Structure 1
């Protein structure tokens, strides 16, 4: 039971080998926190709509995002601020217009999994 933390050493496992495998699979606490943070970004329906729109249309403007997501510009700006701070998106100034793209490749891969399946062709 070489991976069991000292504060859990008093407990009696049923299968010591599985305990060590599970601890190893969980990984480092900082890694778990990073993944939880990514999932938290995706857990909000408004942010998920924005991220899906940005993934589909890189360099989309805030106004266009608001229209596509059915949100007001202020709510979109607030969500984008949070997404920028988290490193999920990056903005680029184009004159007076801010354009956004996905900047976290892991988020991009997760978003690809959320895309709806194409409808099968009807005969």
Structure 2
């Protein structure tokens, strides 16, 4: 199904073409804002990672002070080394952080630039702004 708005043709996905629209242009704007469903899934996964306070705490610390070791993260977050390692495993698997070996010490840094704006917003709410957000 096609909608005309502002001299442009907008295509409604075929799985939704049977549905009536009250304001064609609003439906088109909403479809454009939603965009690619795979992108929506990727962002939902990022939000899911941020939904657990321990992981969010670690990400804020890594963003502000990374590359940073597990021990220093545990101290900063008030978590055990084991809890930090488990959370980092989840974040590493999701592609949000990456380890870098420095002799016998493994330091973590952010590897997903898309998460930085979210962390900057969270840091700004707390009255601080991460170094990455300042640059």
Give the total of aligned pairs.
Answer: 118
Q: Which residue of 2 aligns with 1:66?
A: 74
TM value normalised by structure 1: 0.88
For the residues of structure 1 that align with 2:61 and 2:48, how far apart are their CA atoms? 18
Give 1 or 2: higher strand fraction: 2
Deviation digits for residues 32-68 of structure 1, max 9, x if unmatched? 0111111111111000000001111112110111121
TM superposition outliers: structure 1 runs of 4+ over 2 Å? 1-11
Q: Which residue of 2 aligns with 1:14?
A: 22
Unmatched 5+ stretches in structure 2: 3-10, 129-135
Pick from 113, 117, 122 the counterpart of residue 127 of structure 2.
Answer: 117
TM value normalised by structure 2: 0.80
For the residues of structure 1 that align with 2:23 and 2:117, how far apart are their CA atoms? 35
Task: Give matches, 1:1-123, under 5 Å.
Answer: 1-2=1-2, 3-115=11-123, 116-117=126-127
Unmatched 5+ stretches in structure 1: 119-123
Deviation at 1:6, TM superposition (A): 2.5
Aligned-residue CA RMSD in angstroms?
Answer: 1.4
